[in-house]
Structure 1
Amino acid sequence: MIGIEEPDVEGGCRFVLEDPGGVPLRTFWNTRPLSLDDFFLLALSLTDLLERLHGFGIVHLDFRPDHLLIEPSTLAAHLIDFRLAVRLDGADGADGADSPPRTEAEGAEWTEEKREEPKGPPDEGETLPYRAPELFLRSPADHRADLFSLGVILYEALTGRLPYEAKRPGEWRHAHLARRPVDPRLWTPNFPRPCARCWTA
């Protein structure tokens, strides 16, 4: 991430990124079994990535493995595809994460150096497993929507499966609103019980 240029006179802003290289997260974990040490390093890397993004007052709203690039040697993470991203109203540094959100990126120009952004809306079938409950309800969303998606990603990285099983949009909506994930230790018995409570408490 390079940064965000100041809004212009019409209220727009330019989000400037570099091409970091790396491999897609899903490719990475499909070709390299994650040890617990690697899992915790990956968790720290993704958490740090979101902390920096939210520090700019930006909410991604489509945080999922296909939009994450990983450097295999260091597990450093990079985020791509900002089609759904919004900047919170009144955002100014890290404090912006507590400001009321914008419902759409009016006047914002998201640009990326060297990497061409996809066009059109994302495939809904790929986004539903990671979508926060408030987005199913079309309610105002803030940085917590990305944190929900982070939880889904980490569960999948740890267990090799999603925390919920569903096929149709309505089933995903019900799962994310009303169901509790299965304890990840069912598939990863050596995972610390206190950490598993992040999903089961």
Structure 2
Amino acid sequence: MRWRLKQGMTVDGFELREHLATGGMAQLWAVARPGDPMPLVMKIPMLIDSGDPLPIVCFETEQMIMPRLSGPHVPRFVAAGPLDPMPYIVMERIPGESLKARLREVPLPWAEAVTIGARVAHALHDLHRQHVIHLDVKPSNVMTRETGEAVLIDYGFARHGQLPDLLAEEFREPFGTTPYMAPEQVLQDRADPRSDLFALGVMLYFFVTGERPFGTPRGGQIRRRLWRDPVPPRALRPDCPPWLQEAILRCLEIDPQDRYATAAQLALDLENPGQVTLTERASRLERDGGMKTFRRWLKARRAQPLERPNIAGQLSRAPIVLVAIDLSPGGEDLAEALRLMVRRILSIEGEARLACVNILKTSRLAVDILEDEEGRSLHVQRLVQLRHWGASLGVPEGRISYSVLEAPDPAAALVDYARHNDVDHIVIGARASSALRRYLGSVSSQVVAQAPCSVTVVRTARDRGTAEAPPSDERRD
């Protein structure tokens, strides 16, 4: 069926104002509706003179998923039209250009590429928490709000963990944009959120080096993704920091188990480079040798679709746990109680990422003294103490980090850290109640009241006996 669309015509109350673009599977029109001041865009699938069912299946997929999405990292869904008489989706129009416009400028300054990567990682984590894997992450599908948040668009290839996968049901071939496709997508596995991290790794590589790590493969060439690793970024861009190469190559690992467990963990590394644990990835200047590549090739010949994890399950297996540690003199018993609680959590959450945080309280008005009497940095001393606290936990280096935050309001600093870094759980100690704490409110009670995630409050046995506040191991979910 052919629809004669032109400027000024009205479709279900939406006036077509401007034809924006025509892609391989859809037209985009700027539209307006009386009484709705928000800029809108109408997406109309290309079903003209074609026996290809793919555009309509992608449209049905997007029409199912978009109404279920919310938040700043997705366009707001407005309306949709049925296949008869004319299918369409109307959504919020994000002003500006996509990241595709930046491809004219590659390679970008690596610091700018890192900022872009962190924003996209936050957007992906938000999407994954809504049970959706994008499966077509690339520069043209990423917009940026005026407030700075990355916005992911185009959900035609996406997979919702709680809805039918129409593409998998109807087709027996991989879907995606070949330069950005993860190895498991080549095997038609569409249920691993770490596929989106692979695609983001391709984007970061491209922005940093100016080249795509796997070129633009066609046809059967895409299977090389199952055994061939890319040229390390520092071989093409010597000023790329080792920590950034570590992060990029970890995203591009062939086995999803070797990548970051979640997009939130990737964002945490990109925004805290000093905490990135360097492995042999960071120093590579050449691809893997022939024997290692040959062994992967042999394995790829027998490769089958990987085990399909539950999207929410993958995120829950790899939470970010913030441990707020009070290093004040006399707090040794409480620090030990915290350590025992963290061990208990780690025994259950085997892939958790631990963020050990201490607050170095500063004054709002006075000049702060951040050195001891011998001129040694209090910040560095706290960091050493934090590392000593965490050493006995036996957590692999890549899954534990240490931060000393300087702030006048410890509770606000912890809550802000948790919110910005997508923390899933906070563990914080609390001492016995006192008149001053009851009057002003303790740090732990403020964190419980304001935190964007669940909180466990830990007390020592002695403090539990004298406390008038909530009991030991209080949780707020």
Q: Structure 2 length as normaliser, TM-score?
A: 0.31
Contact 2:159 2:191 in 1 (8 A): no
SS at match of 1:23: coil
Q: Which amino acid aligns with 2:166?
A: E
Residue number in structure 1 paired with 2:151: 78
Residues 16-165 of structure 1: matches in 2 within 5 Å?
16=77, 18-31=92-105, 34-70=108-144, 76-89=149-162, 103-104=165-166, 127-165=177-215
Q: Please identify, of 180-189 and 20-29, the stretch whose mean Cα deviation from structure 2 is larger.
A: 20-29
Give distance in 2, aligned partners of 1:28 and 1:187: 19
Give CA-to-partner distance per residue, 1:151-170, whole Å, 9 cap, x none.
Answer: 11111111111111353221
- The structure whose Rg is larger is 2
Change (3 A) 1:132 1:33: closer
Residue number in structure 1 paired with 2:228: 179
Give CA-to-partner distance per residue, 1:65-113, whole Å, 9 cap, x none.
Answer: 1211235x77542111111112113xxxxxxxxxxx954379xxxxxxx
Shift of residue 173, structure 1, vs aligned partner: 1.9
SS at match of 2:143: strand
Change (3 A) 1:166 1:85: closer
SS at match of 1:138: coil
Q: Which has more strand, going by share of residues?
A: 2
Shift of residue 140, structure 1, vs aligned partner: 4.4
Residue number in structure 1 paired with 2:238: 189
Q: Please identify, of 189-198 and 48-57, the stretch whose mean Cα deviation from structure 2 is larger.
A: 189-198
Give CA-to-partner distance per residue, 1:127-151, whole Å, 9 cap, x none.
Answer: 1111111111112422111111111
Q: Please identify, of 15-24 and 47-56, the stretch whose mean Cα deviation from structure 2 is larger.
A: 15-24
Q: Which amino acid aligns with 1:27?
A: A
Give CA-to-partner distance per residue, 1:44-78, whole Å, 9 cap, x none.
Answer: 1111110111111111111111211235x775421
Q: Which has the higher contact order (CA 8 A, sep 6+)?
A: 1
Shift of residue 21, structure 1, vs aligned partner: 1.5
Structure 1 residue runs of 5 or longer lacking an equivalent are 1-11, 90-100, 107-123
Change (3 A) 1:32 1:152: closer
Q: Which amino acid aligns with 1:127?
A: T
Shift of residue 32, structure 1, vs aligned partner: 7.2
Give distance in 2, aligned partners of 1:70 and 1:30: 17
SS at match of 1:78: strand
Give distance in 2, aligned partners of 1:180 and 1:49: 26
Give distance in 1, aligned partners of 2:151 and 2:143: 5
Give distance in 1, aligned partners of 2:209 and 2:106: 13
Q: Which amino acid aligns with 1:19?
A: R
Structure 2 residue runs of 5 or longer lacking an equivalent are 1-63, 69-76, 78-90, 169-174, 251-280, 282-477
Give distance in 2, aligned partners of 1:47 and 1:139: 21
Give distance in 2, aligned partners of 1:181 and 1:74: 34
Q: Which amino acid aligns with 1:190?
A: D
Give the paired residue count: 159
Contact 1:41 1:75 in 2 (8 A): no
Give distance in 2, aligned partners of 1:83 and 1:64: 13
Q: Percent sequence identity over matched residues?
A: 31
Q: Which amino acid aligns with 2:227?
A: A
Q: Structure 1 length as normaliser, TM-score?
A: 0.69
Contact 2:107 2:210 in 1 (8 A): no
Contact 1:136 1:173 in 2 (8 A): yes
SS at match of 2:93: coil
Contact 2:141 2:152 in 1 (8 A): yes
Give distance in 2, aligned partners of 1:157 and 1:31: 9
